[in-house]
Structure 1
Amino acid sequence: MDKLMAFLGQVIGELGATVNAGLIVIGDRLGLYKAMAGAGPITSTELAEKTRTSERYVREWLNAQAAGGFVTYDPATKRYELPPEQAMALADEDSPAFVGGAFELATATLKATPHIEEVFKSGAGFGWHEHDAGVPTGCERFFRPGYNANLVSTWLPALDGVEEKLRVGATVADVGCGLGASSRLMADAYPRSHVTGFDYHQESIELARQKARAAGLSDRLKFEVALAQSFPGSGYDLVTMFDCLHDMGDPVG
């Protein structure tokens, strides 16, 4: 009986985390966390006014966040506050600790459950392009903070001679680039180099091109739809792959 009760306690914890993931996505999309960041203690009415949302729903959302330890609550004043540590993780997209994209990715992934159920029976694969649109966008938002914090400052300098080539002017292929976060960082940091991002997912490449134009990098950064096995060009000074190898159909081959 003790083992059963312990397991049921674990299950309830998993269930609560699953449901709360949706609430985190709501807070992220509606700007609730951002509105609370640095605002100090705030009432549900004040937060609703700041975000142009319904106070009744905001109150329930805040209570759930307080129960989960995401915000603090003072029953005497009926005010809620987003601590600075939580703000770094939930409100600041430039923070290396930002996790908002992770929950967008997780909840979007769950939408594939009926399809995954079918491939369990058939043994067929399930392509990245078959996922909900929130998977590639959530993935980019999840990994971009880590790239921002490490790619140019730590990872590339750790490769012998690579950074010097990039400074002088190198040709780079970023394979499996997705929405192009890593590609943009390299093109921005090394203006004499030319970076091409490759991905088989047409929708991701279209978004990557839009982001490159918005960043003013189109003169040295381009994106093409291509397979990892057959992306065009040769003589690249650097070929990169970030968080994509494990998603490929035959990563060993």
Structure 2
Amino acid sequence: MGTATTPVDEAQLNEFLGKMVGDLGAATNAPLMLLGDKLGLYRTLAASGPLSSADLATQTGTAERFVREWLAAQAASGYVSYDADADTYAMTTAQAMVLADEDSPVFLAGIFDSLYAMMVAEPKIRDAFRSGEGFGWHEHHPCLFGGTERFFRTGYKAHLVQEW
């Protein structure tokens, strides 16, 4: 193990730091993606785009300043597209299929409900680690089950009868 006094392989360290920074970015963006799903920001942008932050806020009944910040983060992550000349945002077909179209066989936005439930459960799971007692399914936040259903629904709908 490398420490302050033990030499470390710089390439290995930089590779690991890069992985961690990527994971931190993804984890930090998860709540924003949950908001985009819950507030209808992705669906509205996919259906009506390209839109300015003000137009998206008006159409979704949300505050423009928060929508502007949300859009900037989503564009920086590549989850929406930004046209600097027009100062508008839009979604590509691929982005919309994954984040806005609940009937798409590749829709993934529903999983963010489950991720929320996992984070909320952390104190109880930590206690279970210490005590050795279980953590029952009934103890999870209801978002876990709704998110799981939304995550798997489109795959089952597309493949269950036709292929499986």
Give the alignment's TM-score, normalised by structure 2. Answer: 0.90
Per-residue deviation at 1:2? 2.6
Please state which structure has a larger fraction of its residues in strand.
1
Counterpart mapping for 1:142-153 below 5 A: 142-153=151-162
Structure 1 alignment gaps of length 5 or more:
156-253
CA distance in 2, matches of 1:89, 1:5: 31
Could you say which structure has the larger radius of gyration? 1
Q: CA deviation at 1:152?
A: 2.0
The secondary structure found in structure 2 opposite 1:77 is: coil
Once residues 134 and 40 of structure 1 are traced to their aligned partners in structure 2, the CA distance between those partners, rounded to angstroms, is 29
Match of 1:240 in 2: none
1:69 and 1:154 mapped to 2: Cα distance?
32
Residue in 1 that maps onto 2:20: 11
Greater per-residue helix proportion:
2
Number of the residue aligned with 2:143: 134
1:47-86 matched pairs, under 5 angstroms: 47-86=56-95
Say what the alpha-carbon RMSD is for the aligned residues: 1.1
> Residues of 2 paired with 1:85 and 1:11: CA distance?
26
Tell me what 1:46 maps to.
55
Q: In the alignment, which residue of structure 2 is the partner of 1:97?
A: 106
Q: Which amino acid aligns with 2:32?
A: L
C-alpha distance in structure 2 between counterparts of 1:67 and 1:108, whole Å: 26
Task: Measure the CA separation in 2 of the matches of 1:5 and 1:21.
Answer: 24
- TM-score (norm: length of structure 1): 0.59
Instruction: Quote the sequence identity (%).
Output: 52
| 2:48 match: secondary structure | coil
Q: Distance in 2 between matches of 1:122 and 1:139?
A: 28
Aligned with 2:104: secondary structure?
A: coil
Unaligned runs of 5+ in 2: 1-9
Q: CA deviation at 1:16?
A: 0.8
Deviation at 1:3, TM superposition (A): 1.9
CA contact (8 A) 1:38 1:84 kept: no
